[in-house]
């Protein structure tokens, strides 16, 4: 069955549950996604509720990837709300459930995200990820350039501090400026 990627404009309870499943599984495997393992169900529900509110307000775009009608991956695009930054957006929470990793889903999600961003007039994407994480190689492989590293930016549950790397990618804009 083919991979289907589509924007999720307003999350249903079923979609929120699938997104929580993705997030919890990735954090359990050590992904640095802003949460410690184990995630409290209430914290995860609060997070996706907040995302849902921002989707309704058109402050965020969420793309979902489906295999066999099951939501297995997602990525978010958050356009800058500042007047002088409307040409840029932040990529957040590229999440692929561990059972579906290394199948090209993340690459497909990023391609679709870049297409949507270009259609919105976004010409610059930015993101951050924990330095040394496997995601750094992925972002470089899909054309992002590392621009900086900030030491001691995130911590694990034991209090060990880690650096965060910042990346950017320029996009061709499909709209005339």
**Average of per-residue pLDDT values in the chain:** 95
Which pLDDT score, from 0 to 100, does residue 87 have?
97
Contacts of 76-80 spanning 24+ positions with Cβ under 8 A = 76/51, 77/113, 77/116, 77/117, 77/122, 77/125, 78/54, 79/120, 79/122
* Tens of pLDDT, residues 84-130: 999 999 999 999 999 999 999 999 999 999 999 999 999 999 999 99
What's the confidence (pLDDT) of residue 176? 45
pLDDT at 177 over 70: no
Residue-wise pLDDT tens digits, 10-29: 999 999 999 999 999 999 99
Q: What is the per-residue pLDDT across 35-71, written as a single tens digit (0 to 9) for each?
A: 999 999 999 999 999 999 999 999 999 999 999 999 9
CA 150 to CA 85: how far, in whole Å? 22
**What domains can you pick out in the chain, each with its CATH number?**
4-127 (3.40.630.30)
């Amino acid at each position: 069955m083919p991979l289907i990627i589509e924007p999720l404009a307003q999350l249903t309870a079923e979609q929120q549950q699938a997104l929580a499943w993705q997030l919890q599984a990735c954090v359990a495997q050590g992904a640095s996604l802003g949460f410690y393992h184990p995630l409290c169900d209430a914290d995860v529900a609060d997070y996706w509720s907040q995302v849902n509110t921002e989707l309704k307000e058109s402050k965020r775009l969420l793309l979902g990837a489906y295999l066999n009608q099951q939501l297995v991956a997602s990525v978010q695009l958050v356009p800058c709300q500042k007047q002088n930054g409307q040409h840029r957006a932040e990529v957040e929470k590229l999440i692929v459930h561990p059972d579906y990793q290394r199948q090209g889903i993340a690459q497909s999600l990023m391609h679709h995200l870049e297409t949507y961003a270009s259609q919105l007039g976004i010409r610059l994407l930015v993101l951050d990820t924990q330095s040394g994480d496997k995601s750094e190689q992925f972002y470089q492989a899909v054309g992002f350039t590392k621009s900086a590293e900030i030491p001691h930016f995130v911590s694990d549950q034991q209090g060990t501090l880690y650096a965060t790397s910042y990346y950017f990618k320029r996009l061709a804009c499909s709209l005339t400026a």
